[in-house]
Amino acid sequence: MAATLALVSTDTNPTRLPGILDAGEEAVRAWLAAQGEPPMRLRQIRHGLLVRGVESFEQMSDLPRSLRVKLAEAFNPLASRIIRHQHAADDTHKLLLELHDGKQVECVLIQEDGRRTACISTQVGCGMGCVFCASGLDGVERSLPAGEILEQLVRLRNLPEARSQRSEVRSQKSEVSRLSHIVVMGMGEPLANLDSLLEALEVATSPDGLGIGARHITISTVGLPAKIRRLAEAGKQYHLAVSLHAPNDALRRQIVPTTDKVGLQAILEAADAFHAATGRQVTYEYVLLAGINDEVRHARDLARLLRGRKAHVNVIPFNDVEGLPYHRPTTEALTAFCDALRQGGLSVKVRKRKGSEIDAACGQLRRKVLRASIEA
């Protein structure tokens, strides 16, 4: 099946009213009280959006008609708009969302072996400066509040094309397919927006929210030691993935120049503290760039760096990005690199390339659309 690129809008209320998920529970509760409505209405509204998967207040048939009208006049059920929807042959979906202020972020739904994994963004752009990443080419514009993070999960969960066609007929009580996993690996540095992320994940893991187990959530970071320690102190069973991309500080400064004042030792010590506090194995991500960090000597140095740690290495062959001078390593280089890591005693997995024909690298679709709008 060929990839599809659609220009769509799913707004049932196209006006730029505040999103009700982004307004915050206390503000909505106060608004309901001012309308003379009981507190239970907030639970009904959130149940409709988060559990039933409705996308308009009119669909919330358990609410009085008069309240549905007032809600539509004061709020948007979902404040974002889907302005691009790409669908790959491997059943990967990528959405480009326009936020209330016209800013854009990407999110992805990956479907494989019964899993429905949402990959979400935490910022518009990224300020970490990884030289190979399309997300950070224009820097960071702003962080997302919890509601905008949560809306990405709702949008992906609600995709009608992505709902399972293989399962038996669903009862009317099971109107939408659930997400099974979350990876916070989209646009932005998640730990640079930790408070909003934790607030969104609190709803995502709640039985009254999206009901996703904390152990099925992975938070990726380029390595902010103080924020890694704060995440550990949160007491959640989220999985941590640390993006190393180099086995020594000198090479890492070339690949992630904005972290020049943060050495690998400080990052590893923070990751060790996370493991000690949570008992969760840490994954170390390593993007392979041909001719830069993909040699056997780099793998051996990485094995020595991680020796003695309960660690897993996720090797990620680079996805070519238009306008960047980096390339995917050869199959031979990839094999030799992974073999050297395993010989060094490390657990290793090569990340599968998903959605390769739909601008798989994070930030590519956003840049393509923004560039087209500028040139138009």
Is residue 130 within 8 Å of 136, Cβ to Cβ?
Answer: yes
> Distance between CA 263 and CA 367 in Å, rounded?
31
- Tell me the domain boundaries of the chain: 17-74, 102-159+177-375
Q: Which CATH class is domain 102-159+177-375?
A: alpha beta
Q: Which CATH class is domain 17-74?
A: mainly alpha
Catalytic residue among 106, 148, 151, 285: 106
Question: pLDDT tens, position by position, for the chain (376 residues)?
Answer: 445 555 555 554 455 789 999 898 999 999 999 999 999 999 999 999 999 999 999 999 999 999 999 999 999 999 999 999 999 988 999 999 999 999 999 999 999 888 999 999 999 999 898 988 887 777 899 999 999 999 999 999 999 755 544 443 333 344 578 999 999 999 999 999 999 999 999 999 999 999 999 999 999 999 999 999 999 999 999 999 999 999 999 999 999 988 778 999 999 999 999 999 999 999 999 999 999 999 999 999 999 999 999 899 999 999 888 788 999 999 999 999 999 999 999 999 998 776 555 555 565 555 455 544 444 4
Is residue 67 within 8 Å of 35, Cβ to Cβ?
Answer: yes
361 token code pair: 């690298």
pLDDT score of 4: 54
pLDDT score of 376: 46
Nearest Cα neighbor of 232 from 207, 258, 198 is: 198
pLDDT score of 255: 94
User: Known catalytic residue: 133?
Assistant: no
pLDDT score of 3: 56
User: Known catalytic residue: 362?
Assistant: yes
pLDDT score of 357: 54
pLDDT score of 99: 95
164 token code pair: 């399972």
pLDDT score of 368: 52
Catalytic residue among 119, 126, 133, 362: 362
